[in-house]
């Protein structure tokens, strides 16, 4: 039986051809497609720089490193996210912390962020849950007033936009985030297999991210410090002549590179992004229409109604008060699955993970709205290759579940 998952990639003949041609070109690691993908992506989201990396977790780690965040610093993120949004702070020895979410958008609540501010808070990782942008204008206002860095985890929001003061702004290209990260994992809106993008308008951040992506190595002669091999110690001109093997390591970096064929796939997926977004918006509209009059379903809420068709809609997460309905979520998930409808629960509040509880002493009750969201949330299948019949099957299965109550 072919279960409809909550998300799935779309790979067409042109995607396959792009990957095949890239592999046949002989480039298997960094080649021309990496730069082409970065350029096309930066242009699409309206940013100055895009640095392609092996996954978004790496992009988040680089965001922490280029911001100089480390031991003794506090980094605040949403509890309603994937582990990596918080783990990146722990990677650099900072303390990941969590502020509660807004009950309508399920995104970080700026009022809570302001109320819980501490002097050691150096960074914010604002997550665009389900594709809807976090309240970046309010969040950056609070953060910048305290000199903290704003990172937007837009792993759910590639291609998304939002309205502010009558204008449209692109996620990745607006002025209220210092760094924005995107994921190209297959469950996300476009895919490279694995892959991520680090996006910024800051020249220094971009250059540092590029260097850290590949071991902190420098190969441009004009940047050499000239101390690298004990020869010609301060004579850069001589080093230039010394030959092409010479390189220097200026920082402790990583191998966070992405392959050329992944970027070839990314480039073609980027060409298809608008069609993905349009289909997602159609499916969301169909679900909203079907569930509008069902009093036990709360359809996804927007901070700004005008964002409805600007949002990228990575997830369709509805809220169900299972307790008052007198059913368990598992029973509903099982009943839907028996009709081929897969569902998912996103997310367990990150601070409730055993590692977070034991490392930082976080306990249940810390963010009550996120905990309630977790109790009530159910994400329905949403991906561009769903047919109208698939959408109808999901709707009928959900509605008929009520009939059995
Ligand atoms: C998927 C995801 C990540 C991690 O992305 P990878 O590319 O899998 O490393 C980070 N944050 C959020 C919100 C995500 O959904």
Regarding whether 329 and 262 lie in a shared domain, the answer is: no
pLDDT tens, per residue, the chain with 405 residues: 699 999 999 999 999 999 999 999 999 999 999 999 999 999 999 999 999 999 999 999 999 999 999 999 999 999 999 999 999 999 999 999 999 999 999 999 999 999 999 999 999 999 999 999 999 999 999 999 999 999 999 999 999 999 999 999 999 999 999 999 999 999 999 999 999 999 999 999 999 999 999 999 998 888 888 765 655 545 555 555 556 788 899 999 999 999 999 999 999 999 999 999 999 999 999 999 999 999 999 999 999 999 999 999 999 999 999 998 999 999 999 999 999 999 999 999 999 999 999 999 999 999 999 999 999 999 999 999 999 999 999 999 999 987 776
For the Cβ of 183 lying below 6 angstroms from any atom of ligand 1, the answer is yes
Which atom belonging to ligand 1 lies closest to the Cα atom of 195? 7
Strands of the sheet containing 297-298, edge to edge, are 297-298, 316-320, 377-380
DSSP line for 181-202 = EEE--TTSSS--SS-EEEEES-
Reply yes or no on whether 188 is catalytic: yes
Of these residues, 170, 188, 334, 366, which one is catalytic? 188
Regarding whether 186 and 57 lie in a shared domain, the answer is: yes
For ligand 1, the distance from its centroid to the CA atom of residue 243, given in whole angstroms, is 41
Radius of gyration from C-alpha coordinates of the chain: 23
Residue 42 lies in a domain: yes
For ligand 1, the distance from its centroid to the CA atom of residue 187, given in whole angstroms, is 10
For the Cβ of 22 lying below 6 angstroms from any atom of ligand 1, the answer is no
CA distance 195 to 82: 16
SS3 for 277? helix
CA distance 58 to 194: 11
- The model's pTM is 0.96
Regarding whether 166 and 62 lie in a shared domain, the answer is: yes
Residue 355: domain span:
273-400
Residue identifier of the C-alpha nearest atom 6 of ligand 1: 56
Regarding whether 175 and 71 lie in a shared domain, the answer is: yes
Regarding whether 145 and 235 lie in a shared domain, the answer is: no
For the Cβ of 226 lying below 6 angstroms from any atom of ligand 1, the answer is no
Which atom belonging to ligand 1 lies closest to the Cα atom of 184? 7
Alpha carbon separation from 230 to 145, 225, 255, 293 (Å, rounded): 46, 12, 26, 76
CA distance 345 to 75: 25
For ligand 1, the distance from its centroid to the CA atom of residue 82, given in whole angstroms, is 6
Structure tokens at 250: 């200026």
For ligand 1, the distance from its centroid to the CA atom of residue 205, given in whole angstroms, is 21
From the number of C-beta atoms within 10 Å of its C-beta (0-12, 13-18, 19+), residue 277 rates as buried
Regarding whether 244 and 261 lie in a shared domain, the answer is: no
Total domains present in the chain: 3
Residue 195 lies in a domain: yes
Q: Which residue intervals of 67-189 are DSSP H helices?
A: 84-91, 110-115, 136-145
Regarding whether 177 and 277 lie in a shared domain, the answer is: no
Regarding whether 242 and 176 lie in a shared domain, the answer is: no
Regarding whether 43 and 91 lie in a shared domain, the answer is: yes
Residue 370 lies in a domain: yes
């Amino acid at each position: 039986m072919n279960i409809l998952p909550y998300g799935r990639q779309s790979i067409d003949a042109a995607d396959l051809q792009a990957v095949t041609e890239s592999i046949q070109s002989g480039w298997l690691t960094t080649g021309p497609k990496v730069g082409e993908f970065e350029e096309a992506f930066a242009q699409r989201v309206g940013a100055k720089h895009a640095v392609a990396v092996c996954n978004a977790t790496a992009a988040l780690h680089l965001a922490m490193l280029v911001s100089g965040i480390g031991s003794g610093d506090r980094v605040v993120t949403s509890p309603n996210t994937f582990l990596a949004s918080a783990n990146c702070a722990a990677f650099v020895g900072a303390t990941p912390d969590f502020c509660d979410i807004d009950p309508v958008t399920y995104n970080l609540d700026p009022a809570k962020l302001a109320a819980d501010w501490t002097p050691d808070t150096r960074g914010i990782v604002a997550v665009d849950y389900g594709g809807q942008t976090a309240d970046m204008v309010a969040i950056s206002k609070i953060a910048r007033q305290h000199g903290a860095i704003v990172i937007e985890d837009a792993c759910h929001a590639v291609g998304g936009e939002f309205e502010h003061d009558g204008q449209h702004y692109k996620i990745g290209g607006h002025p209220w985030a210092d760094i924005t990260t995107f994921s190209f994992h297959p469950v996300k809106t476009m895919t490279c297999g694995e892959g991520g993008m680090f996006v910024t308008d800051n020249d220094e951040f971009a250059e540092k991210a590029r260097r850290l992506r590949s071991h902190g190595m420098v190969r441009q002669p004009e940047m050499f410090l000239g101390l690298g091999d004990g020869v010609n110690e301060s004579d850069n001109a001589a080093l230039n002549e010394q030959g092409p093997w010479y390189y220097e390591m200026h920082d402790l970096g990583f191998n966070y590179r992405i392959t050329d064929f992944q970027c070839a796939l990314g480039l073609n997926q980027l060409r298809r992004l608008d069609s993905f977004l349009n289909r997602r918006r159609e499916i969301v509209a169909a679900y909203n229409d079907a569930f509008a009059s069902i009093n036990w379903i709360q359809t996804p809420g927007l901070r700004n109604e005008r964002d409805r068709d600007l949002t990228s809609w990575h997830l369709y997460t509805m809220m169900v008060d299972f307790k008052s309905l007198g059913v368990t979520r598992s029973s509903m998930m099982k009943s839907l699955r028996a009709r081929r409808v897969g569902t998912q629960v996103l997310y367990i509040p990150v601070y409730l993970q055993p590692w977070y509880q034991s490392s930082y002493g976080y306990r249940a009750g810390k963010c009550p709205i996120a905990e309630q969201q977790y109790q009530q949330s159910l994400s329905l299948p949403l991906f561009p290759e769903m047919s109208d019949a698939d959408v109808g099957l999901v709707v009928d299965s959900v509605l008929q579940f009520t009939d059995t109550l």
